[in-house]
Structure 1
Amino acid sequence: MSTESIVQSKTSRVQWIAKVSILSAVAFLLMLFEIPLPFFPPFYKLGFDEVAVMIGGFAMGPLAGAVIETLKIVLNLLFQGTDTACVGEISNLLIGLSLVIPSSIYYQRHKTRKGAMVSLVIGTLSLAVIGSLSNYFIALPAYSYFYGLPMDAIVGMGTALLPLVSNTFTFVLFMTLPFNILKGVIVGIIVFVLYKRISPLLHR
């Protein structure tokens, strides 16, 4: 390998690290602005941090998206730093990865408007499934344990909003699943609108 090729390779790595770091910081800052939704339990809040993660994944591939998601979670843990936050962020990491990895893999192979739409649908479906499983097996039990809330009390928050919620399974089915689908749709629309305007900056 020539000296010029080595320099170009090092420059590319530095640029990649810089872009990933910036997008991770943006995603972390966006995590600070979460919106509670009236038709869901108060601990389900809509955030826009995944927009930065998805833009990174679309522009630089699934590895970059996964690293941005992970760094965002690490930054959040550094500022929260509790056992409760740790368990919750493990669930958030799984949910974030379930959105960015399959969608960015598909988009890397189909870089068209139609490909972008299909990739966002794939990501949303993956988010819905993995997010529901993560909440059922990790997030809700952890929330119950660390906050000292019986699972019946958490289920009761869902029942107060929708009488069909009667146990953990129906809570996930009627609360968690619709929330994750709504989140995937909203994030997908924002990414679809913004990506082509931002991607030239990331490809420089």
Structure 2
Amino acid sequence: MKETALHATRSTQRLVTIPMLAAVAFILQYLEFPVPMMPSFLKLDFSTLPSLIGGLMYGPMAGIIVEVLKNALHMLFKNTDGLLIGELANVAAGASFIVAAVAMQRVSQGKKGFLTGLALGTLLMSVVMALANAFFLLPAYAAISHMPMDQLLATLGADSVWSLILYGIVPFNMFKGAMLSLVAYPVYVKLATRLSPRATN
């Protein structure tokens, strides 16, 4: 009976916390800013942080749900072209970072495990976004915009898809992962004792 009540309390807490984290993430998404020497359409924000916290608390799927809810809100309230490409890219980037970071933290608990997870998350996010842009996001945006790929690349200041990816997409996501890691690590240290009895080892 006691275990049932505890499970119900945790489920209720999860149902309340996940939407709350999504709302915080949505607000943080408004605080985006360009990164010097990067393509102007790539903007940095820290809206993945609440999703990462959700993943650490309730598992990687919870973090992905926060990402999806955040981008659903973005689509409803901020998206002006209705193309969904930006939201899909944001979900893919955030989910790949969260899954790697949270999975590694759970396999190798403690600060070192989480640092390794953040590094793997940064690497995975960079690879996923490189492939996603090359084979889906950029072609989809060009098709939906009724724009030849060469024209789209010209507007982005790139000679080819892979030059844009190698000199724009990959460096941006590496930088984004590093910035997220710098903020996420001290937050994790604060939350670690609530996540696992060995989390501060």
1:85 CA displacement: 3.8
**Displacement of 1:140:** 2.0
Structure 2: which 5+ runs fail to align? 197-201
Give the direction of change, closer, same or farther, for the CA distance of 1:83–1:199 in structure 2 (3 Å limit). Answer: farther
Tell me the SS of whatever aligns to 2:84. helix
Alpha-carbon contact 1:73-1:89 (below 8 Å) kept: yes
Which residue in 2 is equivalent to 1:78? 76
Counterpart-to-counterpart distance in 2, 1:122 and 1:185: 11
User: Can you list the C-alpha shifts for 1:151-179, whole angstroms capped at 9, x where unaligned?
Assistant: 334433554xxxxx521111111110100
The correspondence of residues 146-161 of structure 1 with structure 2, limited to 5 A, is 146-147=144-145, 149-156=147-154, 159=157
SS in 1 for 2:41: coil
> For structure 1, which segment, 126-135 or 142-151, has the greater mean C-alpha deviation from structure 2 after superposition?
142-151
For 2:134 and 2:7, how far apart are their aligned partners in 1? Answer: 44
Alignment of 1:83-162 (within 5 A): 84-147=82-145, 149-156=147-154, 159=157
Q: Distance between the aligned counterparts of 1:154 and 1:184, measured in 2? A: 26
Q: Cα offset for 1:129?
A: 0.3
Structure 1: state its 5+ residue gaps.
Answer: 160-164
Stretches of 4+ aligned residues off by more than 6 angstroms: 200-203
Partner residue in 2 for 1:26:
24
Question: Which position in structure 1 is the counterpart of 2:8?
Answer: 10
- Retained in 2: the 8 A contact 1:77–1:85? no
Correspondences of 1:19-58 after superposition (within 5 Å): 19-58=17-56
Q: CA RMSD in A?
A: 2.3
Identify the residue that residue 199 of structure 2 maps to in structure 1: none
Per the TM alignment, residue 148 of structure 1 is displaced from its structure 2 partner at its CA by 5.3
- Identity of counterpart residues, as a percentage? 31
Match of 1:184 among 177, 180, 189: 177
Larger fraction in helix = 1
Aligned residue pairs total 196
TM-score (norm 2): 0.86
Q: Distance in 2 between matches of 1:6 and 1:146?
A: 50
1:111 counterpart SS class: coil
Deviations, residues 48-78 of structure 1 (Å, cap 9, x unaligned): 1011111221232212111111111111122
